[in-house]
Amino acid sequence: MKEIISKKSKGIKFDKMGYYAIGLIILAFLGFWPTYFSKFFDGTANFNSYFHFHFAMASMWIALLILQPFLIKKKKFSIHRKIGKLSFIILPLFFVSVILLKHSNLGGQATEGLGASLWLQLKDLVIIGTMFTIAIVNKSNMQIHARAMIATGIVFIEPTLGRFIILTVLPEPDFMLGLGITVIVMYLLIISIIIIERKQKSGRWVFPLLLGLFIVFHYLIFFQVSFPLWDSIAEWFVKLPIT
C-alpha cells in the first residue's frame, strides 16, 4: 500500500481529499440551516428522533471521509484500516436512518405517485452501496478503493446543495427547478473529474460508473417513472409498522 500511495498520481490527490470533504460540512450547514439548525435558535425545533438519527449517521460518514485521507497523508496506515472497519457499522445504520426517516415522513399514507417519489432516496442508497462495495472489494488497490470512497461523498452533495439552492438561492422554493440546477452542478463536477482522470491507468472507470448511475436515477425522478410492481413495493413499504 505504501508503494502505491507514494507514486505520483496523474489524477486525484487522495491525501488531499479530506480538505474537500470538509466542504460537505459547509454545504450541510447551508442546506439544512433553514429547516433544521435555525429551528434550535428560534425555539421551533420539533424534530422526531428519526431526523436526529439520520443527521448523526450522515455526519459520522462525512467525518470518516474527512479523517481517512488525513491518516493516509500522515502514513498512519494501521489506524486508517482500524477506523475503516467502523464503516461496516456506520453505513448500515445510515441506510436504516434513511429508511426510517422516509417512512416516518410518509405517515402511513399510500398517496398517488408514491412509487415515483421513492426514487430520490433509493438513488442515494443504491449509489452509496454500490460505491462502498467497490471500495471494499478493492481495498488492496488504493487507486480504485480511494476513488470509490470519494464517490460515496459526492452523493452527499446533491441533498445538501439542493436544499441550499431550493430554500435560499431561488426566489421561491421550487423543488424540480432546484433539483435540476443541482443535477447540472453535479454532472459538471463528475465530468470534470473524469477529464482530470483521463490519463489514469487504474480506477478511472469509477467516476463514469458513478455518472451513469446518477443519470439512470435522475431520469426516473424527473420523468416520474414507475410501474405496477414498484408501486406495490412502495405501498407495502409505507404500510410497514416500523415508525
* CA 181 from centroid of its chain's CA atoms: 17
And the C-alpha cell for 221? 425522478
Q: What is the pTM of this model?
A: 0.91
Give residue 43's pLDDT: 87
- Taking the C-alpha atoms of residue 241 and residue 175, their distance in angstroms, rounded to an integer, is 29
Amino acid at 134: I
Amino acid at 170: L
Q: What is the residue-level pLDDT of the chain in tens, covering all 243 positions?
A: 443 333 444 566 766 777 888 889 999 999 999 999 999 998 898 899 999 999 999 999 999 999 999 898 888 999 999 999 999 999 999 999 999 999 999 999 888 899 999 999 999 999 999 999 999 999 999 899 999 999 999 999 999 999 999 999 999 999 999 999 999 999 999 999 999 998 888 899 999 999 999 999 999 999 999 999 999 999 999 999 999
Left, alpha or beta for 113 (phi > 0: left; psi -120 to 50: alpha)? left
Give residue 195's pLDDT: 94
Handedness of CA 149, 25, 59, 242 (dihedral sign): negative
One-character DSSP codes across 50-78:
HHHHHHHHHHHHHHHHHHHHHHHHTT-HH
Give residue 66's pLDDT: 93
How many helices (H) and strands (E) are present in the chain, helices listed first? 13, 0
Helix 206-222 to helix 119-137 angle, to the nearest 10 degrees? 170
Burial track 150-169 (b if 16+ CB lie within 10 A, e otherwise) = bbbbbbbbbbbbbbbbbbee
Q: Could you tell me what percentage of the chain is helix, strand and coil, using 3-state DSSP and rounding each to the nearest 5? A: 75, 0, 25
Give residue 10's pLDDT: 56
Give residue 1's pLDDT: 41
Query: Please, is 119 exposed, middle or buried when counting C-beta atoms within 10 Å of its C-beta (0-12, 13-18, 19+)?
Result: buried
Closest CA to 173 of 186, 162, 184, 183: 162
Give residue 6's pLDDT: 39
